[in-house]
Structure 1
Amino acid sequence: MIDRVRTAAHQNWDAFWNFHLGSWDGQWVRYNPLGEVSENFLSTRNFVSNTDRSIIHQHNQYFYHDKQIVEKKWNYNIQDHCRDDGFMHPASDYMRGLAFANGSAAWLVPRCEAEQYFPIELFLASKNLRLSVGMLYDTSGELQRVACIREHRSDFGASPWCDSIQVIPKWNVEANWQGISQVVDLDLSRSFFHDSFYLNHSAEDNEYFFPDNIVLRCPGKVPAHQAFTISALWLESDFQIKTISASYGSNSQLIDVRHQQFTH
């Protein structure tokens, strides 16, 4: 077997699975582009691996209010799904995963193609908690829906997330946040640098302020021949902020994924 420590692709594979293996209980809420709730349900996402984590089994269960249960299963293996531009989702050969060691990650499309659906899911995590925000653009580039998923490890006990599902009014945080930005480029090379943070509201992008201090910022329509960024923010506590963002160039190609941690 290839020495996984020496390849960027395998480091990326390990960064995701070393954190996310196990069972996660959660609540999914989907919203229309105006921020109105369109659907919500409970879930379990379970990830099991073999000894060396070269084979992963994923089992999702969705529990709807009408008592319907929907199940989905996928299998990953390091030979077929660990690629030089990220790990591939078995359900979509054009999506890739880029991951950081602390659980932050992005499922995305490396290049936004015309007449192709454009989905993204951005993860932020802390020990036994994780959240993800997702969005789906249709084949014309219009934002079709967004989602917020709040999960905790199944053996963690009762969920610490609140029960609210409605978007909330925009809020601000004070300046003087300092921390580290970590970057994964399209070729999976990694870098980091010291950085600062200030929450600027965007007049051009859609902003969704979800419960539990989670924020999603994304364009209402994928801009043609213009650079754009899709980002998520989590005010984890009064003293810590985490963000993750995916930036695309004017050629619709992914530039990089950035994860930031700031303290105040």
Structure 2
Amino acid sequence: MSINLIEAQNESWSNFCKYHVGDWHGNWTTFSSEGQLTNSIQCIRSFRLNEDGTEIQHHNHYTYEDGKKESKLYGNYNKSTLRSLFLKNCFSWGLKQVDSGTKFFFETGFRYEQRRISVVGIYKNGISIDSVLVISEHIADFPDKPTSTVKQITGINWNGISKTITDDYQVSSSEEKIWTALESLGIDYFTMHFSDGISISCPQVIEKGQHFLTVIDWQVLPTFWQRGIRKYDQSGFSSLTLEEFHKPQ
């Protein structure tokens, strides 16, 4: 393994430890591709770092609508076994290849202060969008449930900065960006807006070898916007880009 790759893995691991270790109390809300709420549960995602900082243990503690509780161990992670990419406060993971007949999904999220959000896109038979899971979390206690289900987000062309990490942990230099609406991706993309300033846009149908994007937006504050973009090429997943926008004064 090259020195540069080791340093890049170290940086991704450091971001994991800095931003995401803790007990994240979350409301998990699932919507159909038609925008109908189909399920709502609570879950604590627990990431515990060992004493020497070399391993993180991941448990999920679920509370279902009928009151049933369940805990699952999802793994002991270290620098060489990370399934996610961590770029600053942004994280993303999912299947790297598209294969029809099998389940395909991705998750992208962000942390800001004591809050964390993420969105999971799930494809039916690996080819057509089936459902969307929206996760809203707080480090100390469960956040309030949203008062509305779907909210259209509008904005202006804010100035921003983007940075990209590739699948092999290479991080780009920063580039200037201008905010654009998710609807600009085109009619072949499925776009939904939720409460809490959260949005998703991804292809309605995907095929193996296709170039496409999956995009998650979070308007954290009236003056601060974050966007996470997963990119796929003919070989599969290739990179994660974090874009951060601030409203001009």
In structure 1, the residue matched to 2:116 is 130
SS at match of 2:196: coil
Is residue 170 of structure 2 the alignment partner of residue 209 of structure 1? no
Is the CA contact (8 Å cut-off) linking 2:123 and 2:130 kept in structure 1?
Answer: yes
Q: Which amino acid aligns with 1:137?
A: Y
SS at match of 1:65: coil
SS at match of 1:163: coil
Which residues of 2 match residues 66-215 of structure 1 at below 5 A? 66-78=66-78, 82-83=80-81, 87-88=82-83, 97-102=84-89, 104-154=90-140, 159=143, 161-164=144-147, 166-168=149-151, 170-175=152-157, 177-191=158-172, 192-201=174-183, 202-215=186-199
Is residue 218 of structure 2 the alignment partner of residue 231 of structure 1? no
Distance 1:158 1:61, change over 3 A: closer
SS at match of 2:168: coil
In structure 2, the residue matched to 1:61 is 61
TM-score between the two structures when normalised by the length of structure 2: 0.89
1:30 Cα offset (Å): 0.5
Distance 1:15 1:231, change over 3 A: same
Distance 1:200 1:6, change over 3 A: closer
User: Alpha-carbon deviations, 1:216-248, whole Å to 9, x = none?
Assistant: 111122145431110100111221110001011
Q: Which amino acid aligns with 1:197?
A: W
Q: Any unmatched runs of 5+ in structure 1?
A: 89-96
Q: Which amino acid aligns with 1:34?
A: E
In structure 2, the residue matched to 1:94 is none
Distance 1:225 1:55, change over 3 A: closer
CA distance, structure 2, for counterparts of residue 255 and residue 53 of structure 1: 28
Is the CA contact (8 Å cut-off) linking 1:24 and 1:45 kept in structure 2?
Answer: yes
SS at match of 1:82: coil
1:252 Cα offset (Å): 4.6
Distance 1:252 1:117, change over 3 A: farther
Distance 1:77 1:186, change over 3 A: closer
Percentage identity across aligned positions?
21
CA distance, structure 1, for counterparts of residue 63 and residue 182 of structure 2: 37
Backbone CA RMSD of aligned residues: 2.3
SS at match of 1:7: helix
